[in-house]
């Protein structure tokens, strides 16, 4: 079975490091790739710019932060869902926002899951481990 990449779009270096560490603690063999904003996530997904020579194929999941520079998570999600090549990509909004409007807008745009980052470090690590296991190993998608 070929293990697909897990793509993390997160601008905060601390949150990115914690997320990557939590995923690695599960001993997931999936390759983890971090991009810093929505525009870079789209470059990766569309194999453009610095990602033009990466191995073809979509990741197992995109863990997408809501608030990022250049292009935020909602804008990125809208582009993904409008693209025939990307629209089936599982996208999990991973955010600190508990705003009802953000939650509703994310689901209106077709997010697969909306996860609020817990403030407690142990809860955060536990949530990320569960996300990694489910989306990286258990979930099947085209």
The answer, yes or no, to whether residue 2 has pLDDT greater than 80, is: no
Domain 25-137 has CATH 3.40.50.1010: no
Centroid of chain to Cα 7:
5
From the CB of residue 108, how many other CB atoms can be counted at a distance below 10 Å? Answer: 12
Q: For residue range 77-134, list pLDDT tens digits in order.
A: 999 999 999 999 999 998 888 899 999 999 999 999 998 887 677 787 788 777 777 7
From the CB of residue 114, how many other CB atoms can be counted at a distance below 10 Å? Answer: 18
Q: Domain residue spans in the chain?
A: 25-137
The answer, yes or no, to whether residue 62 has pLDDT greater than 80, is: yes
The answer, yes or no, to whether residue 1 has pLDDT greater than 60, is: no
User: What's the whole-model pTM score?
Assistant: 0.89
């Amino acid at each position: 079975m070929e293990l697909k990449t897990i793509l993390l779009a997160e601008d905060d270096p601390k949150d990115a490091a914690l997320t990557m560490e939590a995923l690695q603690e599960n001993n997931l063999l999936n390759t983890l790739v971090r991009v810093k904003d929505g525009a870079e996530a789209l470059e990766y997904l569309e194999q453009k710019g610095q990602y033009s020579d990466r191995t073809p194929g979509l990741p197992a999941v995109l863990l997408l932060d809501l608030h990022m520079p250049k292009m935020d998570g909602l804008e990125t999600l809208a582009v993904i869902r409008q693209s025939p090549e990307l629209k089936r990509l599982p996208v999990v909004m991973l955010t600190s926002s508990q705003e009802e409007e953000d939650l509703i807008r994310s689901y209106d745009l077709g997010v697969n899951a909306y996860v609020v980052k817990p403030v407690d470090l142990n809860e955060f690590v536990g949530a990320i481990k569960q996300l990694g296991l489910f989306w990286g190993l258990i979930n099947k998608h085209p």
